[in-house]
Chains A and B, each alone.
Chain A
Amino acid sequence: EAQVTQNPRYLITVTGKKLTVTCSQNMNHEYMSWYRQDPGLGLRQIYYSMNVEVTDKGDVPEGYKVSRKEKRNFPLILESPSPNQTSLYFCATSTSGHSSYEQYFGPGTRLTVT
């Protein structure tokens, strides 16, 4: 079954404690991306990756890091989380080919930073 998985699905942590949210896909998609969703602000792109070892900043990259060492995985790293990073996070993937730019979203990770 084609799917995008995220772990953990829920996380409560404290300010400054490093954390990683994993994203994995089994669809052999080149493109992967991270978004945060906040009430009234819609979805905002944090980072995206067109392929292995290629990453680019989205609209709101401050406070986040990513890496793309393998095609199927695209972890999101918060080195020193702060309360303003409390949000719902979505990973998304796409074939990024000329035929389709459709993004498939993961189930989301709800992060609370106290």
Chain B
Amino acid sequence: GENVEQHPSTLSVQEGDSAVIKCTYSDSASNYFPWYKQELGKRPQLIIDIRSNVGEKKDQRIAVTLNKTAKHFSLHITETQPEDSAVYFCAASIYGNQFYFGTGTSLTVIP
């Protein structure tokens, strides 16, 4: 089956700096790559996603890039704010059927 690896497991940045979280996947058939944010004690929520026919997608301060050849995708958060502090999960799926999640990155934004 698919194997999704996520790095780093923890990340601390100063407010206003950028944060980058990286994921790799193993199954070249995967074609959907979402990113979820989970605040402490809350449920995961989708923040951005990308499909394999697109190389980059941006939504305000958040962007995701995908390199299908290398089988890796990354989450970029610019101008970080304290409310960005949370655990972020990447995932890979084939047509939204079975999902494989990374092990999560705990992001702390230091004011």
Contacting residues, chain A, for B73 (C-beta < 8 A): none
Chain B interface helix/strand/loop/mixed: strand
Q: Which of A19-27, A39-47, A67-75, A79-87 contacts B (4 or more CB under 8 A)?
A: A39-47
A94 to B34, CA, bound (A): 13
A84-114 Cβ-contact flags toward B at 8 Å (1 or 0) = 0000001000101000011101111000000
Chain B contributes a number of interface residues (CB within 8 A of A) equal to 22
- Which residues on the A side are within 8 Å of B45 (C-beta)? 105
Provided the pairs A31-B96, A101-B49, A101-B96 are in contact, do residues A43 and B101 lie with their beta carbons within 8 angstroms?
A: yes
Q: How large is the interface on A (under 10, 10 to 19, 20 to 34, 35 or more residues)?
A: 20 to 34
Question: Which residues in A have their C-beta under 8 angstroms from that of B89?
Answer: 42-43
Cβ-defined contact, B46 with A102, below 8 A: yes
Q: Which of B6, B32, B43, B91 contacts A90 (CB 8 A)?
A: B43
Per-position binary interface string of chain B over residues 83-95, scored 1 when its CB falls under 8 Å from any chain A CB and 0 otherwise: 0000001010101
CA distance A102 to B93 in the complex (A): 11
Q: Given A42-B104, A101-B32, do A106 and B43 touch, yes or no (CB 8 Å)?
A: yes
CA distance in complex: A43, B89 (Å): 8
| A64, chain B: closest CB distance, angstroms | 15
For the complex of A and B, the 6 pairs showing the least CB-CB separation, nearest first, are A101-B96, A105-B43, A42-B103, A43-B101, A42-B101, A102-B46
* A–B Cβ pairs within 8 angstroms, 12 of them: A31-B96, A41-B103, A42-B6, A43-B44, A43-B89, A45-B99, A48-B97, A48-B99, A56-B97, A56-B98, A94-B96, A103-B46
Q: A42-B103, A48-B97 are in contact. List 19 more A-B contacts (CB 8 A).
A: A31-B96, A35-B101, A42-B6, A42-B89, A42-B101, A42-B102, A43-B91, A43-B99, A43-B101, A45-B101, A50-B97, A59-B1, A90-B43, A101-B32, A101-B93, A102-B34, A103-B34, A105-B44, A108-B43
B residues engaging A (CB < 8 A)? 1, 6, 32, 34, 43-46, 49, 89, 91, 93, 95-104
